[in-house]
Amino acid sequence: MRIHVQNPANDPHFAVTEAQWRDAVSRSPDMAGLQVSFASDEEGLTRALPEAEVLLSWVRPLRQRFPVGALPAAAPRLRIIACTSAGVDSAAPFDWLPESIALLNNSGTHADKAGEFGIMAILMLNTGMPAFADAQRRGEWKPIFASTLAGRRVVIVGMGSLGGGVARQARAFGMQVIGVRNGPEPHPDCDETHTTGALDSVLPRAEFLVLACPLTDQTRNLLSRERIALLPRGAGIVNIARGAVWDQDAVCDALEAGHLGGCVTDVAVPEPLPTESRLWRTPGMVVTPHVSADDRARYNDRTLDILFENIRALRESRPLPNRVDPAKGY
């Protein structure tokens, strides 16, 4: 089986190396027969596509690279496109993707790192760090005393790899965890789970709200101005989903009005966030530059392990665990 790894052209941090490939194969000896090629330029991709059965690629170039209808002729043997990111929203709509090709996300790579980022953000909100950061800018010593997290309530929207990672950590700190997801099935790290349709009834109970869902047509502007108003006064929000999942301006307004206690966001509209954006300067808003889920030391190792799991499933004619449903968008 022929696999082509198309690395990003200008991002040495996350390029999959031949050494990482060899290590991954040594962890999965059943993958020893795979024939692999690597490239980070256009010519390398063009050269590999006619023979490739599996393409591992950065998600962003996919839609531009493959206009609607072009893929079958360009890559006649392709059966899997595996994306290195968990969110595949930048490749939507999926009209360019033939039904015969399975699109895989990289869900599972990010759980541990996202869980640590999520609990850090919740601890920061609980401790009052956004207010202390504002006070530090003014040189003002102004204690606010906080309790511990045990028994406090967090609502997590999106119970995939990211949300699940946060739920596991929140549980370890003794929090009461309420998960919100599309399906009604319970989650082992949630005390309660509710469907997205019940969101309005859950928000008034959220001391902390974590957004960790994929960006789809259904989740765009999910945390609207109206829904922000449903949160109790003083609530804290963590956004590790996408900037378009909340109404960014309404969040800033709610912080300025004192309705929200603080926010930690790792995502923004647009990214990179321009210097003049009000997000940087809104009191109570902590901004990080889309780093919450990417563990540089372990990212590629996990990416390859997940890819191999899916190839194994393909060989054994099982459903591919990371297959994206183009209709759902995740």
E runs forming strands in the chain:
2-6, 35-39, 54-57, 80-83, 102-104, 153-157, 176-181, 192-195, 208-211, 235-239, 260-265, 285-287
Q: Does 133 bind a second copy (CB under 8 A)?
A: yes
Q: Does 150 bind a second copy (CB under 8 A)?
A: yes
Taking a C-beta distance cutoff of 8 angstroms, is the pair 208, 125 a contact? yes
Q: Does 51 bind a second copy (CB under 8 A)?
A: no
Taking a C-beta distance cutoff of 8 angstroms, is the pair 54, 21 a contact? no
Q: Does 135 bind a second copy (CB under 8 A)?
A: yes
With contacts defined by CB under 8 A, name the span among 40-48, 143-151, 178-186, 234-242 that binds a second copy.
Answer: 143-151
Question: What distance in Å separates the CA atoms of residue 32 and residue 30, rounded to the nearest whole number?
Answer: 6
Of 38 and 132, which has the nearer Cβ to a second copy?
132
Q: Does 142 bind a second copy (CB under 8 A)?
A: yes
Of 118 and 160, which has the nearer Cβ to a second copy?
118
For a second copy, the binding residues in 275-304 under the rule CB under 8 A are 275-277, 280-281, 286-291, 294-298
- State the DSSP code for 299: H
Per-residue x/- track, 91-120, a second copy (CB under 8 A): ---------------------xx--xx-xx
Taking a C-beta distance cutoff of 8 angstroms, is the pair 49, 69 a contact? no
Q: Does 274 bind a second copy (CB under 8 A)?
A: yes
Cβ density class 216-235: b for 16+ within 10 Å, e for less = beebeebbeeebbebbeeeb
For a second copy, the binding residues in 162-181 under the rule CB under 8 A are 172-173
Burial class (CB in 10 A: 0-12, 13-18, 19+), 183: exposed
Q: Give the interface with a second copy as residue ranges (CB under 8 A).
A: 13, 112-113, 116-117, 119-120, 123-124, 126-129, 132-133, 135-150, 172-173, 268, 271-277, 280-281, 286-291, 294-298
